[in-house]
Amino acid sequence: AQSVTQLDSQVPVFEEAPVELRCNYSSSVSVYLFWYVQYPNQGLQLLLKYLSGSTLVKGINGFEAEFNKSQTSFHLRKPSVHISDTAEYFCAVKGPAAGNKLTFGGGTRVLVKP
């Protein structure tokens, strides 16, 4: 079984400032890791994923994340945010044999201020 903890429920940030969203997971097996974004009144959109290989993963909209196996973390970063990045962000994990069963964290709400 896996679990995901997103350490910050809300992150206010000024426009053009950097942002980091923290995600820690626990699992007894190797996992795949994902970040999804949910804009108001919409479904989830995949930002990026880590399956294997390079621990630094680049995604859409200028986001990137770094997988750290020893710290069981997968933090999401963006060097300069825009107003349009205001949304809820979810970290998720999946075991290799879990089909479509993603385990999500509780989410981090990012509010970008002008």
Partner 1 sequence: ETGVTQSPTHLIKTRGQQVTLRCSSQSGHNTVSWYQQALGQGPQFIFQYYREEENGRGNFPPRFSGLQFPNYSSELNVNALELDDSALYLCASSAGGSRTGELFFGEGSRLTVL
Site string for partner 1, 72-101 (x = CB under 8 A): ------------------x-x-x-x-xxxx
Spatial CB neighbours of 80, under 8 Å, sequence gap ≥ 6: 16, 17, 18, 62
The C-alpha atoms of residue 62 and residue 48 are separated, in whole angstroms, by: 10
Beta bridge partners of 3: 26
Cβ closer to partner 1: 58 or 101?
A: 101
Type of residue numbered 67? F
- Contact segment (CB under 8 A) with partner 1 among 19-27, 33-41, 65-73, 74-82 equals 33-41
Rounded least distance, CB 12 to partner 1, Å:
17
The C-alpha atoms of residue 60 and residue 32 are separated, in whole angstroms, by: 18
Would you count residue 40 as binding partner 1 (CB under 8 A)?
A: no
Secondary structure letter of residue 42 according to DSSP: -
Residue in 35, 105, 110, 112 binding partner 1, rule: CB under 8 A:
105
Task: Provide the binding-site residues for partner 1, judged by CB under 8 A.
Answer: 4, 6, 32, 34, 36, 41-46, 49, 51, 90, 92, 94, 96, 98-107
